[in-house]
Structure 1
Amino acid sequence: MTGVLAHTLTDSTMDPETAVLDTVVGAGDGFLGTIPAGGRFRIVDLDGNQAADTLFYDASDIDNRYSAFDTVREQAGVYLTTGSRLLSGRGDLLATIVADTCGRHDTIGGACAQESNVIRYGEHTRHQHACRQTFLKYGAAAGIGQRQLGHNINFFMNVPVTPDGGLTFADGLSAPGKYVEIEAAMDILVLISNCPQLNNPCNGWNPTPVQLLGWWDK
């Protein structure tokens, strides 16, 4: 893949004071919620350098879920930013990124798991909490199990692609208060693991909370 979208910084017009959803997800914790069609959903990197691993599902059919492969192919770019259309494996538009003050987000680095931690960082990491556990814990309420987990979006995470096609986990591009906002194209489920990873710089070696804001008609 040679296409790389440029940083596209775009402020939102939505007022946090009017949000119908306003919650903080602690470091290493998770979230599951429904965003109705036309609703907007914002993730705020409160302290900076925090990866928010995120999955999207068709609320009426959890097997119709976000596909990093189809999203990257259709936009002909590796990273996500303002204007990126988040597609399902069936080619359906789930949501669109409509505002982004960070400028670039990863969707190819995947989520951390206890198994991958051991391979990458050593046996001593086997019992450290990982995003895959959080996805399964919170996703269970919607019937989301192992077979419904796929490649996720790592909002705010910096995963440069090397000239030979490899991946590196690098220091983040975000900063305190940076945010990304998406608009749902259909009723969607949003499943988040606020990444607990301690072994690479994706969280600045120190996981921190994120804030979630949402706007839609109740």
Structure 2
Amino acid sequence: MLKTLDYTTTIAGGGHWSIRMARGTAMRLTDLNGTGNVGMLFYNPENLLERYNAPDTLKCQHTFKLNKGHCLYSDMGRIFASIVEDSLGWHDTVCGNSTPSMTEQRWGKRDYQHDRNHWHQNGHDAFLVELAKYGLTLADMAANVNWFSKVVADDSGVLSLSPNHSVAGSQLTLRFEMDTLVMLHTCPHPLDMRTDDYPAQPVKIELGLAEPVQEDDFCKNFRPENQRGFQNNALYYLGR
């Protein structure tokens, strides 16, 4: 829930971006054309060793998917952000990134030197570019979220991407509970098996202040574990 709308931008398909979000701000993502994917990572800008922890996020909230009410945990037991709005009800955080080899295999080899803005970027390299801006390297890349993507398992445990899960206009809003360095890309999901054209879909990003957290907050009370996460945040900011 955006209390104010202070900044808007659009990230082209196959692009990447990063920004420092302050505690108490919000970010709304919109899949403009449908079938989009947004890979995202979170770091504590005051201590870059603290970063998003996908296993703890899923384990402590007893879930395989992310949706409204879920919180995004750091490896220190604190909450980077809460999902306060979500029109889809399912987002992936287990499958990681597309790589240079899989991107070339599915959509052909293209590089920026020869193809300029028509090249085929992959999620792995997109994150490396953003990490380098803050002195981080491959060793600092954690398991990421893939917003707008639904991954399901068959009876044999084989994972697959649900086609057409996200329609044009699908949205979600993150409320930041900590100062957070956000890194993102709009490269294809690693399980995207479309081979006709490189699936580059733009995503709109809107930033502003969030509505204050109340005692009856949906995310805070979604799980008992989330209440402890909010307490850890309060202790971290005690006296500031």
Structure 1 spans left out of the alignment, 5+ residues = 1-11
CA distance in 1: counterparts of 2:159 and 2:202, whole angstroms: 26
Instruction: Give the Å deviation of 1:59.
Output: 1.6
Deviates more, 1:80-89 or 1:121-130: 121-130
Deviates more, 1:165-174 or 1:75-84: 165-174
Matched, 1:211 2:211: no
Instruction: Give the Å deviation of 1:53.
Output: 0.6
Answer whether contact 2:21 2:176 (CA < 8 A) is retained: yes
* 1:143 aligned partner: 135
Q: Give the letter aligned to residue 137 of structure 1.
A: V
Matched, 1:30 2:16: yes
* 1:69 aligned partner: 55
| 1:110-144 deviations in Å (ceiling 9; x for gaps) | 111114557xx479559742111111112222223
* 1:195 aligned partner: 187
Answer whether contact 1:156 1:172 (CA < 8 A) is retained: no
Describe how 1:10-159 pairs up with structure 2 within 5 A.
Answer: 12=1, 14=2, 18-117=4-103, 121=105, 128-159=120-151
Matched, 1:173 2:165: yes
Answer whether contact 2:81 2:178 (CA < 8 A) is retained: yes
CA distance in 1: counterparts of 2:164 and 2:77, whole angstroms: 30
CA distance in 1: counterparts of 2:189 and 2:70, whole angstroms: 26
Q: Percentage identity across aligned positions?
A: 26
CA distance in 1: counterparts of 2:5 and 2:99, whole angstroms: 33
Deviates more, 1:50-59 or 1:124-133: 124-133
Q: Give the letter aligned to residue 184 of structure 1.
A: F
* C-alpha RMSD of the superposition: 2.5
Instruction: Give the Å deviation of 1:66.
Output: 0.6
CA distance in 1: counterparts of 2:174 and 2:123, whole angstroms: 21
CA distance in 1: counterparts of 2:107 and 2:45, whole angstroms: 38
* 1:6 aligned partner: none
* 2:221 aligned partner: none
Answer whether contact 2:80 2:180 (CA < 8 A) is retained: yes
CA distance in 1: counterparts of 2:31 and 2:107, whole angstroms: 31
TM-score (norm 2): 0.75
Answer whether contact 1:24 1:212 (CA < 8 A) is retained: yes
CA distance in 2: counterparts of 1:213 and 1:188, whole angstroms: 16
Q: Give the letter aligned to residue 27 of structure 1.
A: G
CA distance in 2: counterparts of 1:69 and 1:115, whole angstroms: 26
Distance 1:123 1:103, change over 3 A: closer
Structure 2 spans left out of the alignment, 5+ residues = 112-119, 211-240
